[in-house]
Amino acid sequence: MVRESDKPLTYAAAGVDISAGNRAVELMKRAVRSTFTPGVLADIGGFGGLFALDAGRYRQPVLVAGTDGVGTKLKVAMLMDKHDTVGIDLVAMCVNDILVQGAQPLFFLDYLAVGKLVPEKVAAIVEGIAAGCRQAGCALIGGETAEMPGFYGPEEYDLAGFAVGVVDKERIIDGRSIRPGDVVVGLASSGLHSNGYSLARRALLDVAGYGVDSCLPELGCTVGEELLRPTVIYVPAILPLLQDGVVIKGMAHITGGGLTENIPRILPPGTAALLRPASWQVPPVFELIARIGRVAVEEMRRTFNMGIGFTLVVDAAEADGVLSRLVQSGVQAGIIGEIVEGDGAVLYK
């Protein structure tokens, strides 16, 4: 026998509050509009975002698209009940990826899925996304917030992002001109960025038993503050170099897989990268994870960025000028290795 509900069912009673969703949109409007650039043609709330490409600026414009998420770093945000920085990570993971091919980010879209829609929490998340878009110089032209009770817990949520940029076809950077003798320039990370958090959480929270509010002298902050440091957005440092015609032969965003697996993605046949780990400073958080978890050096290097969040390959004669420009832009950078003959691997010395 089929049993009927004692009372008429509503969407709200089933766990989806449309009114809360509308309030969230109102709370985020100012943040979203703060990212608008001249190419934006529609306000928030439409079925699709509209962006007018200034094709006259390019001989053969090529659109470059990237998508990513924040991963289990979100677990730390939930533990701390701090949600206004993970949006920066979301934007960073996408725009840094398309920057690798020389693209200028144009616009961004986000997807936010929550177990229970709390307008103020959603607004805080979107504030972070907007802050990341402002750093990257791209417009937040759309997104989706989905309330999914029964799929996520009441305090849980997930984030995904989508970035689109543009580069002139003849200026696409793909690494094919890299040759032995070129140098590898490393740009410092702010810490873990948004990779390796399953291992980091296992070591620091489970094995060591630290809480997110545990203050560690070697970190100079709490565990939670360290783990929530936003990913660096490298667009403001790199894009001016490209716009001024500085020849960068290859770039790599150091995410999952670390230096060990990301640099080979841009190396042409017959080359390898020889890196000198002593040439850069490894943030204390990595040493802490390695010690507590007894993690092997090789495992650390293929899981985390180890203090280098982005790399450039340039002609040795161009290195000093590139480093000077990077330092002027406020990014800590240095020569961390060179290109040698090899089979596409990253070697450490």
Whole-number pLDDT of residue 314: 98
Whole-number pLDDT of residue 8: 86
One-letter amino acid at 224 equals: G
CA 114, 116, 117 angle in degrees (round to 5)?
80
pLDDT in tens, 98-140: 999 999 999 999 999 999 999 999 999 999 999 999 999 999 9
Whole-number pLDDT of residue 11: 85
How far is residue 122's CA from residue 145's CA, in Å, rounded to a whole number? 8
Among positive and negative, which fits the CA dihedral 291, 294, 298, 304? negative
DSSP tag of 39: T
Decide: 183 and 316 in contact? Cβ < 8 Å.
Answer: yes
Looking at 3.40.50.1220, 3.40.50.720, 3.30.1330.10, 1.10.760.10, the CATH number of the domain 18-171 comes to: 3.30.1330.10
Decide: 184 and 53 in contact? Cβ < 8 Å.
Answer: no
One-letter amino acid at 318 equals: E
Looking at 3.90.650.10, 3.40.190.10, 3.40.50.300, 3.40.250.10, the CATH number of the domain 183-348 comes to: 3.90.650.10
How far is residue 14's CA from residue 284's CA, in Å, rounded to a whole number? 47
- Name, in order, each residue with C-beta under 8 angstroms of 236's C-beta and a sequence gap of 6 or more: 135, 136, 137, 329
The parts of the chain modelled with pLDDT lower than 50 are none
Whole-number pLDDT of residue 227: 98
Domain ranges across the chain: 18-171, 183-348
Helix axes 86-99, 73-80, angle to 10 degrees: 160
